Structure 1
Amino acid sequence: MNSHHKKELFESRDEGDKSPPGNKLQLLPLDMEVEILTRLPVKSLMKFLCVSKTWSSLIRSQTFAASYYARSYETRSRFRVFVHGGAQRLLIFSGEEETFSSSLDANLDMTVPSVTLALGGSKCTSVHGFFGCCHGSNFTICNPSTGQIITFPCKGPYTSLGYDPVDDQFKALTLVPALYSNPSFIVHEVITLGGRGGRGVVSRSNVTSPTYCPMTKGLNINGFMYFGAWAPSHRTTPVFVCFDVRYERILSFITTPKDVLVCEAFSILIEYKGKLAVIVPRPSGDPCFDCFDLWILEDVTKHEWSKQTFELPLSLPFTAGMGKRMISQGTNKAGEIICIC
């Protein structure tokens, strides 16, 4: 927790403490309070929001959410997935790494109301413990650790959430579809999130790039956002667009083997040992698959890829039009790929 945030919290303590001298309760050091709170379950944290303004500010802060997420990963090895529950609900589940098996029990962490996704559409991403979901002309970000939900308008359907680990800053990148007709460039809007307690939209700015046609949702890895595309137009050259979240610029177009993105919506982006990877089910386009190729971007600068093929013990459903999609949030500590159907 940075010194500026500590100062704010200590000042709020002093202003809110009106008890006469000699009757003050002995307060725990702030660092100790944070250490204790990060060890508690989400349900307890939600109750403690009402204890005081100080605790409410602390628990809802972006810094605390990052600490809670880091401890959760280190000690409990939790994974989280999102499921479209119908009736305008988005459900977020979590489970323990050690429970992984052919079937597992997951806990419902939170329900996000008023989020409607197209049948079979998967426009949600998980970034640094937060979930971002594009629905219609709105983008919703939710923090399962605190139950906090933020919704704001965006200018296009292709919106993804990114995170800058250096400045501890979340940003959303969206394409502005009204300017697609320009043959020489396209425009993106970068929405910077933050403010007091890490909430709300701080600023909006525009970024231009050479033309391309987006194919996949974005995936954030170590301060960079990747998404598959055709460049410069549909069905020409498959590439991965690399966006630098901190400096707000399109860094490069990464040349990609045709087999990686030939399936378009059937290509699943994951982080594999700190690298961009793509799961491509086989046979491609079939309602079920019994093996898949894992393409790994080994060298971003040289655009070098490797491929591994995995055989499955049973067939898994993968029919986008019927809403039956395999979900993969990446890998666990052992490097094993997590697939949920």
Structure 2
Amino acid sequence: MNSHHKKELFESRDEGDKSPPGNKLQLLPLDMEVEILTRLPVKSLMKFLCVSKTWSSLIRSQTFAASYYARSYETRSRFRVFVHGGAQRLLIFSGEEETFSSSLDANLDMTVPSVTLALGGSKCTSVHGFFGCCHASNFTICNPSTGQIITFPCKGPYTSLGYDPVDDQFKALTLVPALYSNPSFIVHEVITLGGRGGRGVVSRSNVTSPTYCPMTKGLNINGFMYFGAWAPSHRTTPVFVCFDVRYERILSFITTPKDVLVCEAFSILIEYKGKLAVIVPRPSGDPCFDCFDLWILEDVTKHEWSKQTFELPLSLPFTAGMGKRMISQGTNKAGEIIFSPATLPGRAQPFYVFYYNTDTKNMRKVRIHGAADTEEFWSRYGLTGIRCASFSPQHVDSIAFL
């Protein structure tokens, strides 16, 4: 811990300690105190917020949140399951990731009211401990670890959550559809959230760029947001638009092979070993697929892509209609690509995800116990019909508040 961060934590601890001089208990060294607290689960820390103003100031400080996230990233790895529940609400489950296990246990952590998932392959991707979901004309951000939920209006359906690791800042980027008709440029709204003492929506600003036709929603990787598009118009040149979250600018249009962006339904964006990658199931348009192409953006500046083709040991469903298809949100720490269903398999049926190892070419089927897989759960939460689902691996707990 550097001297600047140590000073910040000392000041937050001293400001929160209002006990009279002479009555103070002997304090642990700050480094030791922080070391102990960063090893505790989030639920314990949320309870400790009520112990004293001193601990509340320490735990809610930006520096401590960064330290806690860094340790969680190294030592804790969790998965999240999102299910569109009855009465327009989102059910969020979590569980511990275990390497090479055939089953995992999930627990219902929280419900988010007035949020729905679009049928056909909605993805709730973890962005530095938070999740963002666009629904109707609103965008909802939640932190399942702390229970914080923020909902605010957005001007378009293509809204994605990004994170700037340098300034520790979350931002949402949305396209403004009313201005799509302008032939020379389009407008994006950048919504800055929390951070540096702010709460909720801090500011809104506009960014323009050369015109393009979006194909996918954004994927945040290392401070940059990528989304597939046609430029300048539909069915012309396939590109990936690269948005710099920190400097709030469209950095580049990355030239892309035509086979990468087949269409939104058949081009699956993931982060693969720290790089942008696209999974393209084959054969295209069939109700199932038994192989896929993995395209990796090897050099952002030179627009260089690599391609690998993998044969699956078994076929996976991929019918776009009614959402009965497999999607992917990336890999686990072992590098296995994870495929999961876009909807629950049926009323009170087992929920399975598939882990594919690109090195050994093996696939394992993993059951997620507890993810809306019993009749009692469906009845209690009023689940009926087709329920959208999303499986997010490698989630890292965060105690930050926006």
TM-score by length of 1: 0.88
Structure 1 residue 210 displacement after superposition: 0.7
Structure 1 residue 244 displacement after superposition: 0.9
C-alpha root-mean-square deviation of aligned residues, in Å? 3.7
Distance in 2 (alpha carbons) for counterparts of 1:323 and 1:52: 49
Q: What whole-Å deviation, never above 9, does each CA across 1:8-65 have from its counterpart, x for those lacking one?
A: 6655544554433322122334443332222222322232232234434444455444
Structure 1 residue 6 displacement after superposition: 6.1
Distance in 1 (alpha carbons) for counterparts of 2:53 and 2:291: 53
Distance in 2 (alpha carbons) for counterparts of 1:310 and 1:327: 16
* 2:54 counterpart SS class: helix
Structure 1 residue 185 displacement after superposition: 0.3
* 1:322 counterpart SS class: helix
CA contact (8 A) 1:159 1:175 kept: yes
CA contact (8 A) 2:120 2:321 kept: yes
* 1:56 counterpart SS class: helix
Q: More deviation in 277-286 or 49-58?
A: 49-58
Structure 1 residue 260 displacement after superposition: 1.3
Structure 1 residue 239 displacement after superposition: 0.8
* 1:239 counterpart SS class: strand
* 1:243 counterpart SS class: strand
- Structure 2 match to 1:115: 115
Change (3 A) 1:22 1:65: closer
Structure 1 residue 174 displacement after superposition: 0.7
CA contact (8 A) 2:148 2:401 kept: no
Distance in 1 (alpha carbons) for counterparts of 2:58 and 2:181: 46
Tell me which protein shows more helix as a share of its residues. Answer: 1
Change (3 A) 1:199 1:31: farther
Change (3 A) 1:7 1:155: farther
Q: What whole-Å deviation, never above 9, does each CA across 1:185-209 have from its counterpart, x for those lacking one?
A: 0000111112455531222111100
CA contact (8 A) 1:216 1:227 kept: yes
Q: What whole-Å deviation, never above 9, does each CA across 1:264-310 have from its counterpart, x for those lacking one?
A: 22221111111100111222233322222111111112212111122
Q: More deviation in 152-161 or 83-92?
A: 83-92
CA contact (8 A) 1:279 1:294 kept: yes
Q: More deviation in 270-279 or 195-204?
A: 195-204
Distance in 2 (alpha carbons) for counterparts of 1:6 and 1:198: 22
Q: More deviation in 159-168 or 123-132?
A: 123-132
* 1:260 counterpart SS class: coil
Q: What whole-Å deviation, never above 9, does each CA across 1:211-237 have from its counterpart, x for those lacking one?
A: 111111111111111001111111221
Q: More deviation in 234-243 or 3-12?
A: 3-12
* 2:259 counterpart SS class: helix
Change (3 A) 1:207 1:178: same
Distance in 1 (alpha carbons) for counterparts of 2:218 and 2:70: 22
Distance in 1 (alpha carbons) for counterparts of 2:330 and 2:277: 9
Distance in 1 (alpha carbons) for counterparts of 2:401 and 2:161: 22
Distance in 1 (alpha carbons) for counterparts of 2:138 and 2:61: 23
Structure 1 residue 164 displacement after superposition: 1.2
Distance in 1 (alpha carbons) for counterparts of 2:337 and 2:214: 25
Structure 1 residue 256 displacement after superposition: 1.1
Distance in 1 (alpha carbons) for counterparts of 2:279 and 2:104: 22
Change (3 A) 1:240 1:288: same
- Structure 2 match to 1:58: 58
TM-score by length of 2: 0.76
Structure 1 residue 110 displacement after superposition: 3.3
Q: What whole-Å deviation, never above 9, does each CA across 1:288-340 have from its counterpart, x for those lacking one?
A: 22222111111112212111122222222333432334343322333222299
Q: How does 1:315-334 map to 2 (within 5 A)?
A: 315-334=315-334
Q: More deviation in 142-151 or 294-303?
A: 142-151
* 2:56 counterpart SS class: helix
Q: How does 1:232-243 map to 2 (within 5 A)?
A: 232-243=232-243
Structure 1 residue 245 displacement after superposition: 1.0
Change (3 A) 1:269 1:14: same
Change (3 A) 1:325 1:103: farther
Percent identity between matched residues is 99
Q: More deviation in 32-41 or 290-299?
A: 32-41
Structure 1 residue 91 displacement after superposition: 3.1
CA contact (8 A) 2:228 2:239 kept: yes
Change (3 A) 1:226 1:118: same
Structure 1 residue 108 displacement after superposition: 3.5
Distance in 2 (alpha carbons) for counterparts of 1:300 and 1:23: 59
Change (3 A) 1:195 1:164: closer
Distance in 2 (alpha carbons) for counterparts of 1:88 and 1:64: 35
CA contact (8 A) 1:331 1:337 kept: yes
Distance in 2 (alpha carbons) for counterparts of 1:145 and 1:2: 27
Distance in 1 (alpha carbons) for counterparts of 2:197 and 2:35: 18
Q: More deviation in 24-33 or 292-301?
A: 24-33
CA contact (8 A) 1:61 1:198 kept: no
Q: What whole-Å deviation, never above 9, does each CA across 1:55-90 have from its counterpart, x for those lacking one?
A: 344444554444333322211233444343343222
Change (3 A) 1:165 1:336: same
Structure 1 residue 263 displacement after superposition: 3.1
Change (3 A) 1:286 1:235: same
Q: More deviation in 305-314 or 66-75?
A: 66-75
CA contact (8 A) 1:195 1:201 kept: no
Structure 1 residue 92 displacement after superposition: 3.2
Change (3 A) 1:331 1:16: closer
Distance in 2 (alpha carbons) for counterparts of 1:197 and 1:5: 16
